Amino acid sequence: MTSEEIKSICNKFYPAENIAGIKELGNRLIIEFKNLAENPSVTADLKQELSSLLPEKKISVVFVEDKNANLGAEAIAKWLLPSVKKIIGVASGKGGVGKSTTAVNLALALAHEGKKVALVDADIYGPSIPTMLGYEGQPLLSDDGQTFNPFENYGLKSISIGSLISRDTPIIWRGVKISGALEQLMTQTNWGEIDIMVIDMPPGTGDIQITLSQRVEMDGVVIVSTPQDIALIDAIKGVNMFKKTGTPILGIIENMSYFICPCCGERSDIFGHEGAKQTAEKMGETFLGEIPLDMAIRQNADKGTPIVVSAPDSPYSQAYLDIAKKIIRRIG
């Protein structure tokens, strides 16, 4: 497709005279608009149409002031990961729903399915991946002294923003510094060839989540929630935020879905029943599955031996594996 044809398509959504540039960087097509206010819903529609016509391309649309023309493409270019085939985010509308535990076990389940998987701990509010994967300390520098070597455990490559600071030090950085640190983690790590990168995102719908979804151009995001109404309210906000940034929703996972008493075997729906499933159906999104509330999942995460590797034949591991298979089918 020629630049003029792309401009013609863009003109259906935004004035073509405001296009500052159209650039191709590998499999990424970047369209820059200048001196124009963005309408997120319109941008999402534009990206969807271009993606349908250019399925081999990842589409980025950026908005800059005239004096900053071309800087949007440069900013996105910094985040390119040419050795990574697919990138998915694991997000939640609020904290405390088991998002990071889900991210770790989901990444391990994807690796179990034969994929080369990387896990990025971008949860600035509570980086817990090092504990769950059983490593500590800072990543080692490569021979050139310019890049990091990722930690490797259980066949999974990973890096955490928590590795940049001591364990007991809170991260009280402002947005620009956080964005710079995440960019460094993702782009200055020697990942090698990766089939799927999983990003454990911060909870909520703030600036960092928007920056990641706009800069990284994820192939999709998974939303984690409990069945509880108060968690689902924020999960809905999370789904809508990612839709506005044009990020595909891969589906919703219901975590802590139910509890089976180890003594009598009775099931208890502590946080409600099928709340996430019903929410997914109402929003027209995919329900990926339910993960039970069980002490073994928590204990093994705390010990650095996630349930998918410590008890691979357990029903809990099977739940993560079933979800991983659904995600692989969705992202191709």
The pLDDT tens digits along the chain (332 residues) read 899 999 999 999 999 999 988 988 777 888 989 888 888 788 888 988 998 999 888 888 888 776 454 545 555 555 668 789 999 999 999 999 999 999 999 999 999 999 999 999 998 878 899 999 998 888 887 777 778 899 999 999 999 987 776 666 666 666 566 777 787 788 888 999 999 999 999 998 877 787 787 778 788 999 999 999 999 999 999 999 898 887 899 999 999 999 988 889 898 999 988 999 999 999 999 999 999 999 999 999 999 999 999 999 999 999 999 999 999 999 97
The tokens of 170 are what? 């809170």
CATH of domain 3-78: 3.30.70.2210
CATH of domain 84-331: 3.40.50.300
Helix (H) or strand (E) holding 44: helix 40-53
Q: How many CB atoms lie within 10 A of CB 145?
A: 6
* Domain positions in the chain: 3-78, 84-331
Burial of 272-282, coded b for 16+ CB within 10 Å and e otherwise, reads: bebbbbebbee
What are all long-range contacts of 53-57, with beta carbons under 8 Å and residues at least 24 apart?
Answer: 53/1, 53/9, 54/1, 54/29, 56/27, 57/24, 57/27, 57/28, 57/29
What are all long-range contacts of 152-156, with beta carbons under 8 Å and residues at least 24 apart?
Answer: 154/108, 154/111, 154/306, 154/309, 155/108, 155/111, 155/117, 156/107, 156/108, 156/111, 156/117, 156/118, 156/119
